[in-house]
Amino acid sequence: MSLLKPFSKLPGLNTANILLVENEEQFQQKLADTVVLQEKTVNVNVRLARSLPLPMENEESRPRIDLVVFIIHLTSELSFQSAETSLKYLDPGYFQGKVCFLVTSARNVSVPPERLVSVRTLAASLHCPLLCAEDQTTEGVTTAARRLLAILKVAAGLVPMATGLYLSTLTRCTVPSDIDQQNFE
């Protein structure tokens, strides 16, 4: 199986590589441009993909991926399903702080709330952080880019005294269990 492995290649000097996976291939381009512009001190490489597994032809030239971000548009069920199927092609080593979920249109009224709940349960079960982003304005894109860069730098090992695993225990998504909710009522 062509799993994407986190530690099978050597890291680059002062380099961080991020992989943006999005079924619609629209937000990832804007995000990539902003991420590259925002970061001045570290050399950031962005790889854009539609889904996993990644094509074998790029296997040689591809650098070590430090952070995999799944962009899910809540307005489309297909987006969520595509992200779910792509998860199978990630080596389990990634789930220790090297995977992040980015969700758009969480505030949209026409989106069924069950979808966000299912994304949250998925992220919580995998112990990954869940970010909400606003993709229609430049400020929204810039904010999302900055947050991703913060997580990326830790995941790439460029921040002293912090590792991806350590950060993920602080930032991982939680879903309030039903027992807690009953106590409130």
Rg (CA), the chain: 16
135 binds another protein (CB under 8 A): no
> Residue 158 is encoded by which pair of tokens?
């460029």
Cβ atoms of 115 and 80 within 8 Å: the answer is: yes
- Residue 24 binds another protein, judged by CB under 8 A: yes
Q: Helix 27-38 and helix 138-155: axis angle, to 10°?
A: 70
Show Cβ contacts of residue 77 under 8 Å, excluding neighbours closer than 6 positions: 115
Query: Residue 139 in 3-state DSSP?
Result: helix
Q: Which is nearer to another protein, 45 or 96 (CB)?
A: 45
x/- map, 69-108, another protein, by CB under 8 A: ---------x------------------------------
- We find the least distance from the C-beta atom of residue 58 to another protein, in angstroms, to be 6
- Calpha distance 93→99 (Å, rounded): 10
164-180 in b/e form (b: 16+ CB < 10 A) is beebbeebebeeeeeee
- From the CB of 46, what's the least distance to another protein, in Å? 5
Binding of another protein at residue 54 (CB under 8 A)?
yes
Q: How far is the CB of 169 from another protein (least distance, A)?
A: 30
Nearer to another protein, 86 or 168 (CB): 86
Selected binder of another protein within 3, 48, 106, 111 (CB under 8 A) = 48
**Contact status: 64 vs another protein (CB under 8 A):** no
Instruction: List residues near another protein by CB under 8 A.
Output: 19, 24-25, 32-33, 36, 43-50, 54-55, 57-58, 62, 78
